[in-house]
Amino acid sequence: MSQLFPDAQALENLPPQRRPRRGRPGNARERVLRLASIARLGAPPEIFSPTVKRSLLRLHTLSLSTHLKAKTGGQTRVLKTMAPGKDNHDANLVRASASQRRGLAALSDRLVDVWAVRSNSPLFGTFGETLVVQRNPRKASDGMRMVDTTCYVSARAGDHSVIQAHHVFEDRSRGGIDYLIAPLDGRANSLVSALVHVDADEDDFGFRLHLRASKLASCCDWMDGVRGDRIEPLVSVEEKKKRGNDVLWASFAPGKPHHEFLEPASDELLEEAGLDGGGQYYGFTADFLRSMPFVSPSTVLEWTVVEPTVENGLKQSSSCMQVAYGVCAINGVTFTRTERNRGFQLALHHITFRKQHIMVGFIYNQINVGLGALGAYKSN
């Protein structure tokens, strides 16, 4: 299929996407369009135009200036300003109608005041069907909570325990600005944050945002192609009681079926990865890479064998294949395994279909966690 965004300007010109009807999210490409639409609002300047971002934030969000430097709790700070008698209440909320309250057990008590988002509020495009109540009617400063809303990406319905009010925080020299963006379930919230992830400490900004969104849509297309028998997967193993990625990793071990797709890592690849060659390192063969669009040529795998000693207490030798160095196929950010980052964030992504675990590629783990917001794409 065609690339979702052929260039950066295509994403810059993307109009805000209509929110989905609850339970009707559309296909993966439609969901990625909505995801990309709001991801622009939290993207760093290295991956998306800051001028366009400022314009979108001004037109389509509710903001609050704060002297605080804390990113966390921003959505709560903004929601507090929407309580009755507060600055953002009258312009953004209107009392909910009887038809809007109907069918919600939490609103069966007619003494509970309920508000809906006004059609002329900047939040209406994403929060349009949301109903809110006061957290504590006796204390307006506690703000508001959502009692019924729909995730802007997945179209999943629920209250504040299921759907979060996603926000972004813009740091300023004397505090910052909180922006209320959209209602998102946990998976969509994880995915939108992961889509704009950069490693600023290492000056590693990965791909531009339009390319990230396009690759994410293409990855879903590829998985759909496998399930639709349009793509013959190169790496698959029979489903067992073990986790899918554990079984797939084991299949790349020396002497196992997929070890043929590996070759000793070249000096150039080891130099790129900053590895000294003291370990047993592998790269993927050219033939493998041609068939696996979501595996970077820069990937380095390490085969490790640990023999039992008195110190480690092992009763028999232990071995594993793992990524030592690689690039996320979606956001383009590089990850290197060290002794200090045991919670390594580059995951072997796979799907399970017809009792086969099928390798897709290597992606940032937070993207893997959030893929369920786009459909049945998360590793299991």
- Domain boundaries of the chain, sorted by first residue: 8-185, 232-374
pLDDT for res 107: 67
CB atoms within 10 A of CB 268: 9
Distance CA 41, CA 218 (A): 22
Question: What is the 8-class DSSP label of residue 20?
Answer: P
Q: Cα dihedral sign for 114, 120, 121, 122?
A: positive
Secondary element (H or E) of residue 124: helix 124-127
Residue 147 has a pLDDT of: 92
Q: In what order do the strands lie in the sheet with 62-66?
A: 62-66, 175-185, 163-172
Q: State the pLDDT at residue 287.
A: 95
pLDDT of residue 185: 96
Question: Using the 8-state DSSP alphabet, how is residue 161 labeled?
Answer: T
Contacts (Cβ under 8 Å, ≥6 apart) of 81: 64, 87, 88, 89, 143
Q: How far apart are CA 318 and CA 314, in angstroms?
A: 8
Scanning the structure block, which residue is given the tokens 């086969």? Answer: 356
Are 236 and 260 in contact by the 8 Å Cβ rule? The answer is no
Task: Quote the crossing angle between the two packed helices 209-227 and 28-39, to the nearest 10°.
Answer: 160
User: Smallest Cα–Cα separation from 326: which of 365, 292, 368, 362?
Assistant: 362
C-alpha gyration radius of the chain:
24
E-strand stretches of the chain: 62-66, 93-95, 115-117, 131-134, 144-150, 157-158, 163-172, 175-185, 236-238, 262-264, 280-284, 300-306, 318-327, 334-336, 346-353, 356-364
Measured from the Cβ of residue 18, the count of other Cβ atoms closer than 10 Å reads 14
Would you say 187 and 367 are in contact if contact means Cβ atoms under 8 Å apart? no
Collect all residues with Cβ–Cβ distance below 8 Å to 19 and sequence separation of at least 6. Answer: 34, 125, 126, 128, 129, 150, 152
Within 10 angstroms of residue 136's Cβ, the number of other Cβ atoms is 12
* Local structure of residue 348 (DSSP, 8 states): E
How far from the centroid of its chain's Cα atoms is residue 376's Cα? 14
DSSP 292-326: -TBS-TT-EEEEEEE---TTT--SS-EEEEEEEEE
Q: Which two tokens stand for residue 244?
A: 């899918």
Give 76: exposed, middle or buried? Use CB within 10 Å, 0-12, 13-18, 19+. Answer: middle
What Cα–Cα distance (Å) separates residue 67 from each residue in 41, 71, 77, 83? 21, 12, 12, 20
What string of pLDDT tens digits covers the 380 residues of the chain?
A: 679 999 999 999 999 999 999 999 999 999 999 999 999 999 999 999 999 999 999 999 999 887 765 555 778 889 999 999 899 999 999 998 888 877 776 666 677 889 999 999 999 999 998 999 988 777 766 788 999 999 999 999 999 999 999 999 887 666 688 999 999 999 999 999 999 999 877 788 999 999 999 999 999 999 999 999 999 999 999 987 778 888 999 999 999 999 999 999 999 999 999 988 678 999 999 999 999 999 999 999 999 887 766 665 666 777 889 999 999 999 999 998 876 555 578 999 999 999 999 999 999 999 998 999 999 998 76
Q: Is the dihedral of CA 164, 170, 171, 177 positive or negative?
A: negative
Q: Is the pTM of this model over 0.85?
A: yes
**Residue 278 CB-density burial (10 A; 0-12 exposed, 13-18 middle, 19+ buried):** exposed
Output the pLDDT for position 243. 84
Question: What per-residue confidence (pLDDT) applies to 112?
Answer: 80
